[in-house]
Amino acid sequence: MKNKEAFERLEALDRKTSLIGHIDAVLGWDFETSMSARGGEERARQMAWLEGEIHKILTSSEMNDALSCLDENASGFSDRDRAIVRIARKAFNEEKNIPDRLVSEFAEASGAASDHWYEARRKGDFESYRPYLEKVFELVKEKAQCMSDGKSLYDTLLDRYEPRMDSKRIAELFDQMEGSIHKVMDMTSGKAVDDSFLYAKYPQKTQERFDKGIVRSMGFDFERGVIGISHHPFTTAVGADDIRITSRFTDPRVADPLFSYIHEAGHALYEMGASNRNTAGTCLASGTSMAFHESQSRLWENVIGHSESFWKYYFPKFRNAYKKQTEGVDFQHFMRALNKVQPSDIRVNADEVTYGLHIILRFRLEKALFAGTLKIADLPAAWDEMSLSLLGRKPENVSAGVLQDNHWASGMFGYFPSYALGNLINSQIYYTMKKDLDIDALLEAGKLKKIKSYLNDRIYKYGAIYESDVLLKRITGEALDEKYFDMYLTDKFSKLYC
């Protein structure tokens, strides 16, 4: 088989798995947003079957034959083509030793755990959920053992979400990050901020209209995307031109659903940009890594969405939409309230400064679980103890603690570090953007689409063609460096709290 023929076969297989993945995503969207209360068990089997079909293709003799005949370094291969081969090789090498039985068993177990997580979180009942989480954890370890190529089990899982990053490097970055966060917490400590107006009663319909307007202004294409409501905010691509996001309106602060939508819209803009004529329908039509994906969602949510320049344009509109709730609130009062630094229980509602501590907590717990020094049964107590150490407080209950996220129920161990790594990446990109654009002027004029175009040209349109570390160096000229996060936080909050 010649190189060209082998690549054509490989790309056909890749397109098939991408198509099945989109079908699976449709079922996942329905599961999260509108499925009946009793539909979870069969839905888990449906999704397990689809994931099994993807596994069969990824590990098929046809895939092996195509990869065996390919030399992606031969002349005539573009960066795009080489990326498809690189990603296919990695998937094949990871999946080839995982038995079909384990794929199906894991998919069903994670589906069941996710289903039981909702009820356990509602009731605050970790014990009823624990056996399901234990089952998922054991299967995750078994999968990691099958995929491991000399790495520790946890490093094997980390590599799935952030290639070429390991727990040692993450621990170094997170230790530096913890120091930066606590420095700013000390700077803002004791400085009272009245944010009570953010907890007033805001009509949900008005919120939905206002929040949707901002998402539209960011460049979210409503002909290629949908927004909805779910228990836990998320983004999913159910097709090349069908990107869906959600928020929730159950949190007490009016800013929370707004910033959930901005966050998820950041993901969606990346997905929309990544699915283009060069990449659509392939493994390339997505972000290059989970950390890079999070860098974009949190760039929009925090660096842009919480900035003074952004709200110089949107604050008058906010006051007009909510006249009663914002009576007597001036711009500086609003900005300090919006950026109030106060440790809290819930990760997705955490302020920009303390958010990273929530991720460091989860990273250290995951490390302990895979090192065998912590058991699933002891997670609630370990969570509370580490929360007290890092955030200075224990959660009010298990629903606000160990049960607040559904990632572990889905088997996504090794995923959480991506959130904080995303903060480091977006800070570094921000300082490069400032050299190229007058960001403040664009934000003050409400020209969010100009920023989206900039990001599309440098990040989004490449999808997964370039690996995360390569792409970051192409954009900024440097490897990942925590100093930019430290600079960003210190500069912003020293001005806000001067």
Catalytic residue numbers read: 264
| 137 and 376 Cβ atoms separated by less than 8 Å | yes
CA–CA distance, 444 with 446 (Å, rounded to integer) = 6
Show contacts of 211-216: CB within 8 Å, 24+ apart: 211/247, 211/257, 211/258, 211/261, 212/261, 213/317, 214/258, 214/261, 214/262, 214/314, 215/245, 215/261, 215/262, 215/265
Contacts with 110 (C-beta within 8 Å, 6 or more apart), sequence order: 44, 136, 139, 409, 410, 411
The burial of 54, by beta-carbon neighbours within 10 Å (0-12 exposed, 13-18 middle, 19 or more buried), is given as buried
Distance (Å, whole) CA 103 – CA 370: 20
Helix axes of 3-33 and 61-69: crossing angle, nearest 10 degrees: 130
- Pairing state of beta strands 235-239 and 242-247? antiparallel
Output the DSSP codes for 10-62: HHHHHHHHHHHHHHHHHHHHHHHHT--TT-HHHHHHHHHHHHHHHHHHHTSHH
Query: Who contacts 11 (Cβ-Cβ below 8 Å, separation ≥6)?
Result: 84, 282
Question: Which residues partner with 246 through β-bridges?
Answer: 228
Structure letter (DSSP) for residue 350: -
Distances (CA, A) of 306 to 141, 221, 245: 39, 22, 20
Quote the radius of gyration of the chain (alpha carbons, Å).
22
Q: Give alpha helix (H) positions in 202-330.
A: 204-218, 255-274, 290-298, 308-321
Longest dimension (CA), the chain: 74
227 DSSP 8-state letter? E
Are 306 and 338 within 8 A, CB to CB?
Answer: yes
Q: Position 480: which residue type?
A: L
Identify whether the C-beta of residue 365 lies closer than 8 Å to the C-beta of residue 383: yes
